[in-house]
């Protein structure tokens, strides 16, 4: 049941994305770009901890 709900939500978001991308391409770009920037920044933080752990293991 849960997967069907997620599937429907995904479809709805894709539909909204298409509409927004058509009428407001820059708004859409902002939305996608912001999510990407936040995730890259978060991944950079997580990566640092992995790097530090590896460094300690080497030592």
**Can you give the binding site for other proteins, defined by CB under 8 A?**
23-27, 29-30, 33-34, 36-49, 51-53, 55-56
Comparison of 8 and 19: residue with beta carbon closer to other proteins: 19
CB 31, CB 20: distance < 8 Å: yes
Minimum gap (Å) between residue 12 Cβ and other proteins? 18
Minimum gap (Å) between residue 40 Cβ and other proteins? 5
Minimum gap (Å) between residue 46 Cβ and other proteins? 6
Q: Which H, E and C letters describe 10-58, residue by residue?
A: HHHHHHHHHHHHHHCHHHHHHHHHHHHHHHHHHHHHHHHHHHHHHHHHH
């Amino acid at each position: 049941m849960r997967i069907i709900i997620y599937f429907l939500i995904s479809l709805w978001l894709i539909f909204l994305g298409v509409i927004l991308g058509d009428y407001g391409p820059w708004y859409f770009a902002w939305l996608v770009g912001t999510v990407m920037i936040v995730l890259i920044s978060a991944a950079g933080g997580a990566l640092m901890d992995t790097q530090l752990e590896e460094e300690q293991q080497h030592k």
